[in-house]
Every structure is written in C-alpha cells, then in structure tokens.
Amino acid sequence: MSTVGRHEVAFRGVTKRYGERMAVLADVDFSVSKGEFVSVIGPSGCGKSTLLKLVSGLTPPSAGTVAVDGSEPAAARGIVSYIFQDPTLLPWRTVQQNVALGLELEGISRSDREQRVQSMLTLVGLSDVVQAFPRQLSGGMKMRVSIARALVSRPRILLMDEPFAALDEMTRDRLNEELLRLREEGQWTVIFVTHAVTEAVFLSSRILILAPHPGRIAHDIQVDLPYPRNAATRGSAALEERIAAVSKALRGVQSL
C-alpha cells in the first residue's frame, strides 16, 4: 500500500532552479504529517519562500516531486491557505469584505458567509472593526485580518511566510500566542517560515534549519515541549534550553 497519502506534504529529491542559475534548493527530502507545526529557518536567500511556493504550486520543482495530500500541489489548492509576509488587503474593501472574498469566490451563500466571517473575526479579536478599511488599522490588526482571511476557508494546511516579521516584539508575542490558541480549535498542519529562533521554538513541534548555496535541510529538530503553550511557557528553562540549541545549529549553517 502506498504511504504517500498519509503525509500532508512530501518532498522527494526536490531541486529548484530559476532559469540557468545555480539551484536554489537541491535534493530536498522531507515530509510533514497531519497536525505538525513545522518552522523553516535559515539565512536570507536560502530558499525558504521558494519551499512554500513549491508546496502551494505557485512554482514547479525543476526535479523531484512535491506531493500535497498525495496529489500534485495544484490539485490540492482547496485545502491550502497561504499567508504572505505583506498582508496585501484590498484597500477598497472593509475588513469584513476582505475576509469574505474567498468565500464569495467559492460561491458560499451570503448568510453562511456572514456567519463564518463574523465568527472568525471574533476569534482573532477584530469584532469591533469589521466595517473599518485597511488604512485605518495597525500593522498587527492587518496581519490578523490576513490570518482570518486564510482561516475562514477552513484550510487543512496553512503556509505562513514570515507573517510577523514587520511587527514589534510585544505584538509578535501576542500573535504567536493567539495563533496557537486558534490552532487548538482548528488543528491545521502548519509550515511557518521565520527568521526568529525564539518564535520558531515557541510555536513549533519541529524545526527545519536550511543551509544555503544551495538550499538544503541541514537540521531537522523535534521540539518536544507539550501543547498548549502560552505566555507561561515563555521564560521556562525548557524553552530557553531549546532556543539555545537551535541558535547554535543556526549559527553553524550561517557560517557555511
């Protein structure tokens, strides 16, 4: 029996090059099981965003195969949501209309749409600003709209590309905690790209450290801390210990 379908995401011998240039990713092999929260961390330019684009089917591999739920990425688009670093909200639409857009395209009825959008906006703490326009929101609020927009379509797999990089540390910490709280309800599988070791360790069940030139997986680290994790988890000796271990591994690949 094939085991491919048991993985949410599987890379087999994946190489990616853009044009004639040196490979961005070379011979990458890994798989992600349902419910894992995998962070991808590594030096700038080592292929982290490219890895997410391959999962979403936005770009094809040059060699090897990428499977999502046992199929080609393009066939699995309905179960994947992608959160970009820049929230890219439509400025002429209200918060509510931005979040509803995907459901409109899916042809979901107006009453179902309104109910789902409303409950998602309540969940991310934006029920007071449903009629506001993006320009009236702070960076943290825009990011929450973007998260609500991704989650309202009930994805099984969530791809997040440095979603909190532009935010101050306090807002980032709060959104990290909120993200884990939301995930308790949804239990989606997550692949999360970040530069920040503390964030990666706090959120993840597993961390892939990429080495550059060409991008490849240098370390595959399990973060064996129980969920739920919350503000109290921060500052715990167990968390600090794992942050130190991941920082050390990352320094090793940065010097390559």
**Neighbour tally for 119: CB within 10 Å:** 12
46 binds, among ligand ADP, Mg ion, none (CB under 5 to 8 A by kind): ligand ADP
Residue whose C-beta lies closest to Mg ion: 49
- Minimum separation from the CB atom of position 161 to ligand ADP (A): 7
Binding of residue 56 to Mg ion (CB under 5 A): no
Q: By the criterion CB under 6 A, which residues form the site for ligand ADP?
A: 18, 24, 44-50
**Alpha-carbon distance values, 245 to 38, 137, 172, 236, 240 (Å):** 17, 37, 22, 15, 9
Q: Is 49 in the site for Mg ion (CB under 5 A)?
A: yes
Question: Of the listed pieces 41-49, 133-141, 148-156, 213-221, which binds Mg ion according to CB under 5 A?
Answer: 41-49
Segment near Mg ion (CB under 5 A), from 40-48, 95-103, 124-132, 201-209? 40-48
Q: Which is nearer to Mg ion, 113 or 164 (CB)?
A: 164
> By C-alpha distance, which of 99, 114, 86, 187 is closest to 148?
99
136 C-beta neighbours (distance < 10 Å), count: 12
* Residue 45's binding partner out of ligand ADP, Mg ion, none, with CB under 5 to 8 Å set by partner kind: ligand ADP
- How many Å apart are CA 121 and CA 118, to the nearest integer? 5
Smallest distance from the beta carbon of 86 to Mg ion, in angstroms? 11
Residue placing its CB nearer to ligand ADP in the complex, 49 or 81:
49
CA–CA distance, 111 with 108 (Å, rounded to integer): 8
Q: Which stretch binds Mg ion (CB under 5 A): 48-56, 57-65, 211-219, 236-244?
A: 48-56
CA atoms of 74 and 63, how far apart (whole Å): 17
Question: What CA–CA distance (Å, rounded) separates 100 from 57?
Answer: 23
